[in-house]
Amino acid sequence: KAGVDIFSVGTGLAGASNVKRYVGKKRGGTVGLVDLTKGVLAVVASILIGVEGAWVALPALAAILGHWKSVFTGFRGGDGLAILGGIMVAMFPFYGFIGVLVGVLVAFGGQKLPYTSLFSVVIGYATLAALVVNANGDLPLALGLGGLSALVLARAILGHRRRRDNDGVDWDDMDDAEGAADQRRYS
């Protein structure tokens, strides 16, 4: 749907799930893929210039902060969940892919559940963390990426609660979300 101001509908975020709901599945998928790619590129670029180990968490954090407060969108952005997925895929390709796949399956399988996007991300990252800690054993890296994950998840959860409290709308409930978006659009 051309002409939709994604910041004025739904959650008000430029994330894949909001774009999917209000613009279309294809564009929502594109946004998710682009965001995932930004996370991958942050890690790959940092490794190519010689950043190693837990220090990779710093350029990854910069990518997330740039997504949260993008200069290209008036310092508005998404919640960083897809970028975090890309970071994990780049750091641990096999395990990261499994974690992201689990998250996507939960998201699509549980679309009628409350808090679907947060629920899918928590399960996906929990799966990833369990696999990585079991196989890798790099504690500083695990702590750095774990801290990054906790930061992104905390911001996403707090943002969701703030929007719900401010609007009285559960943005994961499609009937509530669509009604509130229509009300915003036509008021």
Among the ranges 43-47, 86-90, 156-160, 165-169, which has the highest mean pLDDT value?
A: 43-47
Distance CA 86, CA 83 (A): 5
The mean pLDDT of 87-92, rounded to a whole number, is 87
pLDDT for residue 78: 85
| Model confidence at 46: pLDDT above 90 | yes
3-class secondary structure, 66:
helix
In order of 17, 80, 134, 185, the CA distances from 25 in angstroms are: 9, 19, 35, 21
